[in-house]
Structure 1
Amino acid sequence: MTRKLGIAVIGLGPASQPHSKSLLDLADRADVRWAVSRTPDRAKTYAAQFPFPTTTDLDAVLTDPSVDACIVLTPPSSHLDVSALCLEAGKHVLVEKPLELTSARGQRLVDTARRTHRTFGVVLQHRFRPASLRLRAALQSGELGTVEAAFLSVPWWRPQGYYDEPGRGTLARDGGGVLLTQAIHSLDLFRSLVGVSRVVAAQARTTALHRMETEDYVSALLETGNGAPATLVTTTAAYPGYPERIEITGTKGFAALIGGRLRLAFLDGSEEIVKAEGSTGSGAAIMDFPHDAHRAVIADFLDAIEQGRDPVVTGEEALASQRLVDEILSAARKGA
């Protein structure tokens, strides 16, 4: 029997909730040695919810030989520094999205992971939803034929109170607005499914619904990997928030992935439905979604460590999606 891997959860904000629930589910494979926060009150609150030992001493965690891997859930501005400390200490690392504030810092993190020969993955859990997996299979098998057009929409909502929290929606803490912080999940899934070969044009703005430094609305015209036209619209100003949507038109059928629900309609008249597993956190309740996909991300990360392979979402894959964000926003600035 393979021994349990020792895990440290670093960062005990809202993102720790689905990860910690997942680790409880995976207790036969993972032993959470430490849950770490630099804020004693946050560690105390967390300890009342989950049965894991808490500490504010990161150095002690990194020198603990029983810790094999760290799940880094700190703000994006600290991903490079915290993850690099873990990697240099010989720990495998799974880090929350986005990879870092900028692609340049993200590249440094990816380089550190490769140099230290540690398993390194990024939490982009939409790839692991059952409906997403089925859509990928339909594309890879040729069931949908050749992609002729594609569409991505993320009509989410965040109230002003969300952006009033220190650092939210700023370049210094988050690295960007809706595209990097909220839509990155759907954009990454979309890019991994159909590819993006070119950003044709883009617009980005901050609507009157929010007071924030970065953008809350982005639209773009894209070309898929095979040159087919694609459209992107993403916002956090669509009250009260609606599920993200990916539509793909193929020569043999049409796919509509709405949140976690997939409908495949084929030209021969057949149809297939993959039901959603729950909400997607598209509204004011940002953690209103099941943790199934997070559990799948962590399980894949544990498999990768045990099998000596890369996880499904590598640092390079996350970096490619972040660079696409850069390209879209750059096109928007040029258009303005």
Structure 2
Amino acid sequence: MTSKIGVAVVGLGPASQPHSRSLVDLADRVDVRWAVSRSTERVMAHAEQFAFPTTTDMEAAIHDPAVDAVIVLTPPSSHLEVAQICLAAGKHVLVEKPLELTLERAGRLVDLANTSGLRFGVVLQHRFRPASLRLKQALDEGELGKVQAGFLAVPWWRPQSYYDEPGRGTIMRDGGGVLLTQAIHSLDLFRSLVGVSKVVKADVRTTDLHRMETEDLVTALLELGNGATGTLMATTAAYPGYPERIEIIGTKGFASLVGGTLRLSLLSGREEVVEAEGKTGSGASIMDFPHDAHRAVLVDFLDAIRDGRQPLVSGDEALASQRLVADILDAGNG
């Protein structure tokens, strides 16, 4: 019988909910040794929902010999510091997106992980949706033919009350606006599907719908990995919020991925639909989505530890997506 992997969860904000539900589902594979927050209130609130041991002592939890891996769900500005402690203690690390506040700090974090000999993954769960995996397969196996164009739209909504919370939408806390905080999931998936070789042109702005430091609307013209044309639109000003959309034109057909639902329409006449598993958190209720994809991220992370390989979304993969975010912002602000 395979022994369970000891896990500590560091950070008990909203992002801890889908991870904690996933860990309950995976109780046959993991032993949650600690759920950690500096906030006594958050520790108590989490303990009311989940029967995990809790503590406010992060260092003690990380250095617990029974802990093999740490799930880091703290704010992005702390990822480098917390992950460094974990890696130095010999613990595998799964960190929430984005990697860090800046590309420079994200690069330092990935360098540390790559030289540690440990497993390091990043939570970019859209890649793990069944429809995303099917679209990836269709592209890899040539079912759509040669890609001619790709389109990405993230028409989400966040009310002003969201940005009125301390630090929301600021460089100091979030590192950026809609691209880094919300659209990075879809942008990472889009890049993994069709590649992006160049940002041709971009426009970055803050609409009149929000009072915030960073951007809430980005449009961009991209060159895809094979030289085809790509376009992007991402916003949190599209009330009341709609599912993100990826569309791909190929020489053999068309693919439309809306939220978690995929429709393949091939010139041969064949149609295929992979249905969504639920909502996507596109509106004011930011955690309004199922935890299936988070559970799949954790399964991949646990398999990576067992098999001695890097997770599907490795540090290098996440860094490439964050570099694309930076390139788009540079093009739009230049």
Question: Within 5 A, what are the aligned runs for 1:246-257?
Answer: 246-257=246-257
Deviation at 1:205, TM superposition (A): 0.4
Matched with 2:220 is: 220
Q: Given the alignment of the two structures, is residue 144 of structure 1 paired with residue 171 of structure 2, yes or no?
A: no
Percent identical residues: 74
Deviation readout 1:98-131 (Å, 9 max, x if unpaired):
0100111011111111222110000000000000
Residue equivalent to 2:185: 185
Is 1:305 equivalent to 2:293 in the alignment? Answer: no
Matched, 1:61 2:70: no
Q: In structure 2, the residue corresponding to 1:322 is in which secondary structure?
A: helix
Deviations 1:51-102 (A, max 9, x none): 1011000111122100000000000111111111111111100000001001
- Structure 1 position 39, deviation (Å): 0.5
Asked whether 1:129 is paired with 2:129, we answer yes
- Partner SS for 1:121: strand
Q: How big is the shift at 1:174?
A: 0.6
SS in 1 for 2:265: strand
1:284-325 deviation per Cα after TM superposition (whole angstroms, max 9, x unaligned) = 000000000000000000000010001000000000000000
Q: Equivalent residue for 2:244? A: 244
Post-superposition offset of 1:27: 0.3
**CA distance in 2 between partners of 1:307 and 1:228 (Å):** 37
**More deviation in 320-329 or 108-117?**
108-117
Please state if 1:207 is matched with 2:207.
Answer: yes
Amino acid at match of 2:10: I
The superposition leaves residues 181-206 of structure 1 with CA deviations (integer Å, 9 ceiling, x where unpaired) of: 00000000000000001100000101
Tell me the residue number matched to 1:176: 176
In 1, Cα distance between equivalents of 2:79 and 2:60: 19
- Cα offsets for 1:121-171 (capped at 9, x unmatched): 000000000000000000000000000000000000000111111111110
How far apart, in 1, do the equivalents of 2:332 and 2:297 lie? 32
Counterpart Cα distance in 2 of 1:265 and 1:116: 45
For each residue in 1:187-246, what CA deviation from the matched residue of structure 2 results, as whole angstroms up to 9, or x when unmatched? 000000000011000001011111110000000000100000010000000000000000
Q: How many residues align?
A: 334
Give the distance between the partners of 1:228 and 1:242, measured in 2 at CA. 26
Task: Determine the C-alpha separation between the residues in 2 that align with 1:108 and 1:135.
Answer: 32
- Identify the residue that residue 40 of structure 1 maps to in structure 2: 40
Structure 1 unpaired stretches of 5+ = none
User: Which string of whole-angstrom CA distances, capped at 9 and with x for unpartnered residues, describes residues 236-283 of structure 1?
Assistant: 000000000000000000000000000000001110000000000000
Deviating beyond 2 angstroms after TM superposition, the runs of 4 or more aligned structure 1 residues are: none
Q: Secondary structure at the match of 1:317?
A: helix
Q: What amino acid is aligned across from residue 109 of structure 2 in structure 1?
A: L
